[in-house]
Amino acid sequence: MTTTPSLAALAAHFAGMPPVAAMQPSLDAWDAGVLRLRAPLAANINDKGCAFGGSLTSLMTIAGWGIVSLTLAEAGLDADIYVADSRVRYLKPVFEDLVVDAGFDDPLEAAGLVDVLRQQGRASVRIQARTLLADGGVAATLVARYVAIAKG
């Protein structure tokens, strides 16, 4: 993956939060409005030998936060981003390294996010994230609404 200043800033942001850094997330891909993160199972394992549910939720949540952050950074906007609400579904246990994809619930919302934030100083957007399995299955899903508030 080609590293851009926005991706480097996002990686540094993740590394600067101790609970996030402990999960050892890495940015795997950023393309066409989809962000992929990875994290090793060994850093996120529970007492049953599979991924800790809190790690799945956390990784999907920061992937959603990351896509909003990258979208705004690429538009030249600086904002504080918050998770307003979310819903998680756990579908299957994960016995392998964690892989999460996040994207806009509606791809047109990315442009709307930027426009509304510029005009009103505050905007919200819905993001979907999935924890993927190597066999093509989905282990968990998250639907969340993020709010961005312009700085300054």
Decide: 115 and 75 in contact? Cβ < 8 Å.
Answer: no
Tens of pLDDT, residues 73-105: 999 999 999 999 999 999 999 999 999 999 998
Beta bridge partners of residue 130, listed in sequence order: 101, 141
Decide: 10 and 28 in contact? Cβ < 8 Å.
Answer: no
Residue 3: pLDDT band (50, 70, 90) is confident
Prediction pTM value: 0.94
Mention every residue, 6+ apart, whose C-beta is less than 8 A from residue 116.
122, 123
Tens of pLDDT, residues 91-150: 999 999 999 999 998 878 888 999 999 999 999 999 999 999 999 999 999 999 999 999
